[in-house]
Amino acid sequence: MRPGGIRTWPLAALVFVAIAAWPLLVQDVFLQRIGALVLLAAISASAWNLLGGYAGQVSVGHAVYFGAGAYSSLVVFNQWGWPPIAGAPIGVAVSMLIGAVVGTPTFRLRGHYFSMATIAAAELARILVANWPLTGAAVGLMGPPVPRSVWDLSFISPVPYHYLFLSVLVVLLAVTWWMTRSRMGYYLAAIRGGDRAARSLGVPVLRYKLYALLLSAGFTSMAGSLYAVMVGFADPDSALGILISVKMVIVAALGGAGTLFGPLAGAIILIPLEETTNAAFGGGGTGITFIVYGAIIVLVARFQPGGMAALWQAVTTRKTGSASRVS
Amino acid sequence: MILLQVVVSGLLMGSVYALFSSGLTLIWGMMNVVNFAHGDFVMLAMYAAFFGYTLLHFGPVFFVPAAAMLLFLLGVIVYLGLVRHVARGPMLAQILGTFGLALVLRYAAFWAFTANFVSLPDTLVGGTFDLGGIRIEASRLLGGVLALVITIGMHLVLTRTMLGSRLLAVAEDRNAAMLMGIRPDRMQALAWGVGAASTGIAGALIALFFYISPTVGESLALIAFVVVCLGGFGSVPGALIAGLGIGVIEALSAYLIGAVYKDVVVYTLFLLVLWVRPQGLLGTN
pLDDT band of residue B121 (cuts 50, 70, 90) is confident
B34 contacts A112? CB cut-off 8 A: yes
Sign of the dihedral through C-alpha B74, B76, B78, B81 = negative
Q: What is the mean pLDDT of residues A208-214?
A: 92
pLDDT at B204 over 50: yes
User: Residue A320 pLDDT > 70, yes or no?
Assistant: no
Q: Is A322 left (phi over 0), alpha (psi -120 to 50) or beta?
A: beta
For residues B115 and A7, the model is more confident at: B115
pLDDT of residue A64: 94
What residues are paired with B118 via a beta bridge?
Answer: B212
- Of B22, B24, B50, B18, nearest in space to B37 by CA: B24
Identify how many contiguous H helices and E strands chain B contains and give both numbers: 12, 2
Residues 68-97 of A with CB under 8 A from B: none
Q: How far is B278 from chain A (nearest CA, A)?
A: 6
The mean per-residue pLDDT over the stretch B94-113 comes to: 90
H or E stretch covering B136? strand B134-137
Closest-CA distance, A127 to chain B, in angstroms, reads: 7
Q: Are A296 and A274 in contact (CB under 8 A)?
A: no
| Closest to A268 (Cα-Cα) out of A199, A131, A169, A152 | A169
Flag whether pLDDT at A42 surpasses 90. yes
Chain A interface mutation, best of B99, B219, B279, highest count of A Cβ atoms under 10 Å: B99
What's the pLDDT score for residue B106? 92
Average pLDDT value for chain A: 85
Q: pLDDT tier at A233 (50, 70, 90 boundaries)?
A: confident
pLDDT at A5 over 90: no
Amino acid B262 reads K
The closest CB to that of A246, out of B33, B99, B263, belongs to B99
Please tell me the predicted confidence (pLDDT) of residue A19: 86
Under the banding of pLDDT at 50, 70 and 90, the label for residue A147 is: confident
* ipTM of the prediction: 0.83
Strongest mean pLDDT among A6-20, A165-179, A304-318, B23-37: A165-179
Q: Which fold has domain B2-276?
A: ABC transporter involved in vitamin B12 uptake, BtuC (1.10.3470)
Q: What is the pLDDT of residue B3?
A: 86
d(CA B217, CA B224): 10
What global pTM score does this model have? 0.87
Note the pLDDT tens digit of each residue in A279-314. 777 666 567 888 888 898 899 888 887 788 888 877
Are B272 and A120 spatial neighbours (Cβ–Cβ below 8 Å)? no
- Flag whether pLDDT at A125 surpasses 70: yes
Mean pLDDT check: name the lowest of A176-180, B26-30, B146-150.
Answer: B26-30
Mean pLDDT, range A162-182, rounded to an integer: 93
Q: What pLDDT score does A286 carry?
A: 65
Q: Report, as an integer, the average pLDDT of B242-248.
A: 94
Question: Given this model, what pLDDT does residue A324 score?
Answer: 43
What does DSSP say about strands A233-234 and B134-137: parallel, antiparallel, or unpaired? unpaired
Lowest-confidence segment of A96-100, A101-105, A128-132, B164-168 by average pLDDT: A101-105
- Name the phi and psi angles at A61, rounded to 5: -130, 25
**Domain ranges, ordered by start, for chain A:** 8-320
Q: Best mutation site among A62, A112, A246, A247 for testing chain B: the one with the most B CBs within 10 Å?
A: A112
Domain ranges in chain B? 2-276
A120 vs B90, B101, B271: nearest CB = B271
More confident residue, B204 or A27: B204
**If pLDDT is split at 50, 70 and 90, which confidence band does A322 have?**
very low
Q: Region A147-171: what's the mean pLDDT?
A: 84
Average pLDDT for residues B117-123, to the nearest whole number? 83
Contact: B95, A60; criterion CB under 8 Å: yes
In terms of average pLDDT, the best of A117-121, B66-70, B125-129 is B66-70
A1/B246: higher pLDDT: B246
Query: Which of A78-87, A134-143, B72-81 shows the lowest per-residue confidence on average (mean pLDDT)?
Result: A134-143
Which residue in chain A is spatially nearest to B79 when comparing CA positions?
A302
Q: What pLDDT is recorded for position A106? A: 79
In this structure, how many other beta carbons lie within 10 angstroms of the beta carbon of residue B51? 15
Q: What CATH number was assigned to the domain covering residues A8-320?
A: 1.10.3470
| CA atoms of A76 and A86, how far apart (whole Å) | 7
CB neighbourhood size of A145 (10 A): 8
Asked if A58 and B92 come within 8 Å (Cβ–Cβ), the reply is: yes
Q: Does the pLDDT of residue B44 top 70, yes or no?
A: yes
Region class of A58: left (phi > 0), else alpha (psi between -120 and 50), else beta: beta
A100 interfaces chain B, CB cutoff of 8 Å: no
Residue A124 to residue B95, Cβ atoms within 8 A: no
